[in-house]
C-alpha cells in the first residue's frame, strides 16, 4: 500500500443516523422526460426520486421503501460489490465476468444502487464502461504507471501531497461509493478495505499545513471526502479553517453524482459554517445529470458553495463534441461550471480509455466559439512524474504582418490585431 494512506479500521460512513430535516426541493431540469415521483410527507420534502430510479428500485429492490432508498448509508451498505450481485441486475458479458473474477487488490467493483439504475444493458454504454471491469484493465502499455502523477514522491507526511508551491492535496479516505475504472488513484482506493485516514495522520498533515505559511489552498480529496459522516468531515474542515494563512478550501467529490442523496440538509448546514468553501464535482456523461443530481447540486449551490466540474476525456464514453456539449450545457442549468476537461492519466491498464491529445484539442476547437464560454472548460494534461497541470489550447497565433499580429478565430478565419510593440509571432 502507498505510504500516502494509513487507514483506520472503521468504515468512514457508518456513524450515527442522520436526523430527518425538511428542505425545499430544487427545480428539476426542464428537458428531463417526466417529473419526479411525488412522495408523501417528509420523504417528499427530503429528496426527489426520478421515474427511472423508482422503477429500478421496484424491480431490483422491491422490499425497499423510498425513505430507505434515499438514505445514503443504505446506499453504501447495499452497493453492488460482487459478480453474483451484478448478475442479478444485468447480463454480464464473458469479458466482464473474467475481469471481475481475475481482479484482486485495490479498485474493486463498487456501484451504489442509485448509480446502477443509470447503467444500461448495452456493454458499450458509457457509464457501464466506466464502472464495470473489463479485461482491458490488465493490459499494460509503455508509459503507464501505478502512480503516474508522482504523488507518493511529493508526500511529506501520510495523506498529504505538496506538489505546487502554495497548494496541498489532503487525502482523508480511500473509500468511494462508486469506483471509476480509470481512477488516477487506482493504487489506493479500496485498498486494504475501505477506511478513513487515521485521526493521528490527519492531525499530522494539518500540522504540516499550519507550519508551512506558503500554503494558502487545500484540496480535500481521497477516495471521496463526502463519504465521511458530518462529524469526521467537520473535524477536518474546522482544523483547516483555524489556520490563518489558509485562504482557500476545496472539496473534490463524485458523491453528489453517484449518490446524490448524500447531500442532506445536515451536510449543507455544516458546510455553511466553513466558507469560503468551493467544490469540484466529477461528472463524466450527460446521463449522470438526473433530477436527483439537480437537487443535490441545487442544495450545495443554495448553501453558497461555488460548484465546478472536472471531466476526464474518455475514449468511447465522452470523446465526441455532441456528448460533451450536452453534458456541459446540462451542468450550467444545475449551476455547475465546467472547469477542467482532463486528458486521462496514464495509470496502469488505461490505454482503452485514453484518447490522443490531438483529439482533445479538436474537441475544444469544436466547442470554443460554438457555445457559451461558460460551457467550455480548460483542457489540461496533468504531466506525469509530478509536472503539474499543463493547459492545452488550439494554436491561435499564425504569425505577424508588419505591426499586426495574425490570429486564427474559432471558425478558422484569419484576424488581425494591432500590436506594434509585440514580438509574438516573429520568426
The answer to whether 163 is a known catalytic residue is yes
Residue 367 is placed in which grid cell?
Answer: 466547442
The answer to whether 97 is a known catalytic residue is no
Q: Which of 46, 71, 129, 176 is catalytic?
A: 176
The answer to whether 176 is a known catalytic residue is yes
Q: Which of 81, 335, 389, 400 is catalytic?
A: 389
Q: Which of 229, 345, 354, 379 is catalytic?
A: 345
Q: Which of 129, 185, 250, 325 is catalytic?
A: 185
Q: Which of 79, 128, 179, 183 is catalytic?
A: 183
The answer to whether 164 is a known catalytic residue is yes
Q: Which of 44, 73, 164, 326 is catalytic?
A: 164
Residue 343 is placed in which grid cell?
Answer: 486528458
Residue 254 is placed in which grid cell?
Answer: 463524485
d(CA 178, CA 124): 18
Count of other CB atoms within 10 angstroms of residue 355: 18
Count of other CB atoms within 10 angstroms of residue 53: 25
Q: Which of 163, 254, 262, 325 is catalytic?
A: 163
Which of the 8 DSSP states describes residue 418?
A: E
- Nearest to 419, CA basis, from 406, 403, 407, 408: 403
Contact (Cβ atoms closer than 8 angstroms) between residue 336 and residue 307: yes
Count of other CB atoms within 10 angstroms of residue 35: 11
Contacts of 24 (CB under 8 A, 6+ apart): none
In order, the DSSP letters of 83-118 are HHHHHTTS---HHHHHHHHH--SSS---B-HHHHTT
- Nearest to 311, CA basis, from 375, 393, 405: 375
For residue 333, which phi and psi values (nearest 5 degrees)? -70, -20
- Nearest to 131, CA basis, from 89, 171, 159, 72: 89
* Residue 304, SS3 per DSSP: coil
Q: Which of 44, 167, 241, 333 is catalytic?
A: 167
Q: Which of 46, 180, 187, 229 is catalytic?
A: 180
Long-range contacts for 406-412 (Cβ within 8 Å, ≥24 apart)?
409/369, 410/365, 410/368, 410/369, 410/370, 411/369
Count of other CB atoms within 10 angstroms of residue 202: 24
The answer to whether 297 is a known catalytic residue is no
* Residue 264, SS3 per DSSP: coil
State which H helix or E strand residue 205 sits in: helix 199-210
Residues designated catalytic: 163-164, 167, 176, 180, 183, 185, 345, 382, 389
Amino acid at each position: 500500500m502507498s505510504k500516502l494512506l494509513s487507514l483506520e479500521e472503521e468504515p468512514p460512513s457508518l456513524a450515527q443516523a442522520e436526523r430527518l430535516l425538511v428542505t425545499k426541493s430544487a427545480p428539476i431540469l426542464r428537458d428531463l422526460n417526466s417529473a419526479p415521483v411525488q412522495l408523501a410527507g417528509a420523504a417528499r420534502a427530503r429528496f426527489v426520486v426520478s421515474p427511472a430510479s423508482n422503477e429500478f428500485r421496484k424491480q431490483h429492490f422491491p422490499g425497499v421503501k423510498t425513505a430507505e432508498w434515499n438514505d445514503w448509508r443504505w446506499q453504501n451498505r447495499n452497493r453492488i460489490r460482487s459478480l453474483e450481485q451484478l448478475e442479478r441486475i444485468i447480463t454480464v458479458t464473458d469479458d466482464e465476468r473474467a475481469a471481475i473474477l481475475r481482479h484482486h487488490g485495490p479498485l474493486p467493483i463498487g456501484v451504489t444502487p442509485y448509480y446502477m439504475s443509470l447503467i444500461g444493458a448495452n456493454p458499450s454504454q458509457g457509464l457501464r464502461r466506466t464502472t464495470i471491469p473489463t479485461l482491458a484493465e490488465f493490459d499494460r502499455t509503455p508509459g503507464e504507471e501505478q502512480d503516474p502523477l508522482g504523488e507518493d514522491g511529493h508526500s511529506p507526511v501520510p495523506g498529504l501531497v505538496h506538489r505546487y508551491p502554495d497548494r496541498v492535496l489532503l487525502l482523508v479516505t480511500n473509500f468511494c461509493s462508486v469506483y471509476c475504472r480509470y481512477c488516477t488513484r487506482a493504487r489506493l482506493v479500496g485498498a486494504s478495505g475501505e477506511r478513513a485516514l487515521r485521526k493521528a495522520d490527519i492531525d499530522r498533515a494539518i500540522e504540516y499545513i499550519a507550519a508551512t505559511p506558503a500554503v494558502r489552498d487545500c484540496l480535500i480529496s481521497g477516495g471521496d471526502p463526502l463519504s465521511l459522516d458530518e462529524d469526521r468531515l467537520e473535524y477536518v474542515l474546522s482544523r483547516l479553517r483555524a489556520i490563518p494563512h489558509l485562504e482557500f478550501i476545496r472539496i473534490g467529490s463524485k458523491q453528489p453524482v453517484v449518490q446524490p442523496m448524500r447531500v442532506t440538509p445536515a451536510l449543507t448546514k455544516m458546510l455553511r459554517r466553513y466558507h469560503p468553501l468551493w467544490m469540484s464535482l466529477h461528472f463524466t456523461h450527460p446521463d449522470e445529470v438526473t433530477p436527483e443530481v439537480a437537487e443535490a447540486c441545487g442544495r450545495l449551490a443554495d448553501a453558497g458553495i461555488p460548484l465546478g466540474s472536472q471531466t476526464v476525456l474518455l475514449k468511447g464514453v465522452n470523446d465526441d463534441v455532441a456528448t460533451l456539449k450536452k453534458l456541459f450545457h446540462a451542468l450550467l442549468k444545475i449551476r455547475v461550471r465546467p472547469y477542467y476537461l482532463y486528458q486521462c492519466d496514464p495509470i496502469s491498464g488505461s490505454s482503452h480509455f485514453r484518447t490522443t491529445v490531438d483529439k482533445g484539442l479538436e474537441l475544444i476547437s469544436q466547442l470554443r466559439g460554438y457555445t457559451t464560454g461558460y460551457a467550455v472548460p480548460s483542457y489540461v494534461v496533468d504531466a506525469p512524474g509530478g509536472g503539474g497541470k499543463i493547459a492545452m489550447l488550439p494554436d491561435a497565433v499564425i504569425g505577424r504582418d508588419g505591426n499586426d499580429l495574425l490570429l486564427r478565430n474559432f471558425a478558422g478565419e484569419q484576424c488581425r490585431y494591432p500590436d506594434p510593440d509585440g514580438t509574438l509571432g516573429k520568426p
